[in-house]
Amino acid sequence: MLFHRPLSLRLTPSHMSTESAMPRAALLLLAACMLLSPRLAAQTVWEQMKDFKGGIVTALEPHPDGRIYAGTLGSGIFVSTDEGKNWTPKNTGLAARDVHDILIATDQALYVGTSEAVYKSTNGGDSWFHSSNGLTQPGVNALIQTRNGAILAGTEGRGLFISTNGGANWSNQNNAMNVFRVTALAMDA
């Protein structure tokens, strides 16, 4: 189960101005949450989002303990501990604020792929450190953890990279791959 409690969000027509980026971001956030959980879609109660000033949401990752992480373009990482009602920025040490993907590893470490690097947090996002040694392309679009614990990173122009030591070092895994822009990664269930 992705969410332990239903996430609620409501946008009223007076908040749906085309001049404001916040309603578009809120709609994107809701749509992504609903895609993550069919049960969530069936139980959604619409309420106005408050305190989310993150701009365009590009990545969402629910944590098993109920927290929800949101990555944004330009404003970094936000976390909600109350089903999306309130959001708190979590950007200490996160120099690159254009977040493309979020990964919660099996050891509960967080990784974010950004326009400039991979960053890692071992304390729930309270602080981040650069974790991109060996990545020859700074733009990381997608992250996934394999069954054996390795982390794969899909990059903007250098293909696929792998880390077998918790993101400390990365090596190129393109082999015979001749497409070097990787925008998404998936694994069989």
Name the residue among 138, 87, 78, 158 with its Cα closest to residue 110.
78
pLDDT band at 37 (very low <50, low <70, confident <90, very high): low
Residue with tokens 């956030």: 29
Nearest of 122, 119, 134 to residue 169 by alpha carbon: 134
Place 108 in a pLDDT band, splitting at 50, 70 and 90. Answer: very high
- What is the maximal distance between C-alpha atoms in the chain? 53
pLDDT at 167 over 70: yes
Q: Residue 44: count other Cβ atoms within 10 Å of its Cβ.
A: 17
pLDDT band at 59 (very low <50, low <70, confident <90, very high): very high
Burial of 22 (0-12, 13-18, 19+ CB in 10 A): middle
**Taking the model in full, what pTM does it have?**
0.74
Select the more confidently predicted residue: 176 or 49.
176
- Mean of pLDDT values over 43-66: 76
Q: What is the pLDDT of residues 70-107, one digit of tens each?
A: 999 999 999 999 888 888 999 999 999 999 999 999 99
Q: What is the per-residue pLDDT for 47?
A: 62
Nearest residue to 143 (alpha-carbon basis) of 170, 179, 176: 170
Helix (H, G, I), strand (E, B), or coil: what is residue 25? helix
Q: Which residues contact 70 (CB under 8 A, 6 or more apart)?
A: 29, 52, 54, 57, 59, 60, 77, 78, 79, 80, 87
CA atoms of 118 and 94, how far apart (whole Å): 10
Place of tokens 């250098």: 158
CA distance 11 to 128: 32
What's the pLDDT at 22?
44
Measure the CA–CA gap between 161 and 180, rounded to whole angstroms.
Answer: 11
User: What are the pLDDT digits (tens) for 115-154?
Assistant: 999 999 999 999 999 999 998 877 999 999 999 999 999 9
C-alpha–C-alpha distance, residues 154 and 148, integer Å: 18
Task: Tell me what the mean pLDDT of segment 31-47 comes to.
Answer: 57
